[in-house]
Structure 1
Amino acid sequence: MELIVNDELTLRTPEPEADGPRLAAIIAKDRETLQQWLPWVPTNTTASEISFLQELVTQEQQHRSLQLIILWHDEPVGMVGFNRYDQPDSGQQNAEIGYWLSNQAVGHGIMHQAVLALCQYGFSDLQLDAITIVVAVLNQRSNHVAQRAGFQLDHVVPNQISLYDGSQVDANYWLKFKPDGQLAQSQVY
């Protein structure tokens, strides 16, 4: 799947053998920054990244999750996707967004645009009713992305997120509901 956001930004399904080494190199370069919030970063290697991307492709085929490579000027700079889909007892279809971005891509509005495009796709094409973003309370950048993308802070859960050093931090739960009358389909190829 490929979701064209604009002339500079595309989201697409991972190609494990091609993307794995490139993403692992970005993660290694930005390890200090990324590991602050992502517990898997310290153990990431090229082999583990390829294996992880292969699993993501399988999950997409089974409609369990949807993880996409963020391409900025045709170069991978991070990932964004629906970590899982849920259908609670209410019968509503919900999903949770997760994301990470390389240091070189921060400050260009890339994640904001990627999250908006993913929400559009989720609401229009996947018929989601609500989307959640779960972010460490102290992760200012990720909280800003959620807020700027129109999510509302729903609640805070103490000690919800495990960090790489084993510590637990509080999590903000951001929520966005499907806009009324949203029918347009995304540009998916």
Structure 2
Amino acid sequence: MFVYKIDREISLKLVELNDAEQLFELTDQSREHLREWLPWLDTNTKVEDTLNFIKASMKNYAEHCGINTVILYKGKIVGVAGYNEIDWINKIAYIGYWLGKEYEGNGIMTRVSKALTNYAFNELNLNRVEITAAVENMKSRAIPERLGFINEGCKRQAEWLYDHYVDHVIYAMVAADWPS
């Protein structure tokens, strides 16, 4: 099982079937908050939907094309983070994340994103890490900015969010620019 200890408070653990109930409960408790920026909330309405996400995540991990982990903060699942996709040909990891509403403001996601970037460069020997966020999602955009990622531009109408399109800002870091 993949477990990556970040610090005394935070670890990343490969999402597993037995995480389904706790992960669904966290999703459900944060549903309205998360719905502002995540397009999948209306299709995740029962534990079985979370189980399907976990099964797809396990398949991606087995096929070496993605890694989804639960974020453990003081031993409790507080969100999800990982590589939504790994492009081995071009050596790029695409980081995605979300955090339960009550856990925001503790620096958790910044530490997690930093650790995922370190892991991509130092363990997976990738060359580039990307994080995208909706233009108006200032909390999510603050994470790559805080870590020194470069704003490489905007993808117009990059995502359908329930009833409208949102533009995405693309942030990237390359291995040569990442402080070891």
Q: TM-score range by the shorter chain?
A: over 0.9
Q: What do the CA deviations read for 1:113-145 (whole angstroms, capped 9, x no partner)?
A: 000011111001111100111110000110001
Q: Distance in 1 between matches of 2:87 and 2:133?
A: 18
Q: 1:8 & 1:77 partners in 2: Cα distance?
A: 12
1:181–1:115 CA distance, 2 compared to 1 (3 A): closer
**Alignment-derived partner of residue 22 in structure 1:** 22
Contact 2:128 2:175 in 1 (8 A): yes
Aligned residue among 153, 170, 175 for 1:173:
170
Aligned counterparts of 1:61 and 1:166: Cα–Cα separation in 2: 35
In structure 1, C-alpha distance between the alignment counterparts of 2:137 and 2:5, rounded to whole Å: 28
d(CA) in 1 for partners of 2:102, 2:49? 23
The Cα of 1:51 is off from its aligned counterpart by 1.4
TM-superposed CA distance for 1:50, in Å, is 1.1
Which residue of structure 1 aligns with residue 98 of structure 2? 100
After TM superposition, the score normalised by the length of structure 1 is 0.90
User: Relative to 1, partners in 2 of residues 1:20 and 1:154: Cα closer, same or farther, differing over 3 Å?
Assistant: same
Equivalent position to 2:113, from 108, 112, 115:
115
For residue 118 of structure 2, what is the amino acid of its counterpart?
Answer: Q
CA distance in 2, matches of 1:127, 1:31: 36
Matches within 5 A, 1:81-100: 81-87=82-88, 92-100=90-98
SS at the partner of 1:144? helix
Secondary structure of the structure 2 residue equivalent to 1:150:
coil
The aligned residue for residue 81 of structure 2 is 80
> 1:5 is matched with which residue?
6
* Structure 1 moving runs of 4+ over 2 Å: 179-182
1:180 deviates by 6.0
Q: Any idea what SS the aligned residue of 1:179 has?
A: helix
Question: Could you tell me whether the CA contact under 8 Å between 2:71 and 2:81 is conserved in 1?
Answer: yes
Unaligned runs of 5+ in 1: 185-189
Letter in 2 for 1:35: R
Aligned-residue RMSD, C-alpha: 1.5
**In the alignment, is residue 161 of structure 1 matched against residue 159 of structure 2?**
yes
Distance 1:181 1:12 in 2: 24
Cα distance, 1:181 vs structure 2: 9.1
